[in-house]
Amino acid sequence: MHLFNKIKIINLKKLKIISILAYSFLFGSIRAVIMYPDMLYFWYVCALAGGILLVIKNRAITNRKYKSKIIFFDIFLIITSDILYFNINLPFFIKDVFFTIAIVIYFSIYFKLLFAHKLMNIEQSLV
Q: pLDDT digit string (tens) for 79-115? A: 999 999 889 888 989 999 999 999 999 999 999 998 8
Task: Map residue 12 onto helix, strand or coil.
Answer: helix
Q: What is the pTM of this model?
A: 0.83
Mean pLDDT of 119-127: 59
> What's the pLDDT at 88?
87
Determine the Cα–Cα distance for residues 78 and 103; give it in Å rounded to an integer: 11
Residue-averaged pLDDT of the chain = 86
Instruction: State the virtual CA torsion across 34, 37, 42, 48 in degrees, nearest 10.
Output: 40
**Whole-angstrom distance, CA of residue 22 vs CA of residue 70:** 14
pLDDT of residue 125: 46
Can you give the pLDDT at residue 106?
93
| Cβ proximity of 25 and 47 under 8 Å | yes
Which stretches of 1-127 are assigned E, i.e. beta strand?
none
Longest Cα–Cα distance of the chain, Å, equals 49
For residue range 28-45, list pLDDT tens digits in order. Answer: 998 899 889 899 999 999
* Residue with the larger pLDDT of the pair 47 and 123: 47
Residue 123 has pLDDT above 90, yes or no: no
Query: In this structure, are residues 125 and 11 in contact, taking their beta carbons and an 8 Å threshold?
Result: yes
> Can you tell me whether residue 14 is helix, strand or coil?
helix
Cα separation, 86 vs 8, in Å, equals 35
Which phi and psi (to 5°) does residue 80 adopt? -65, -40
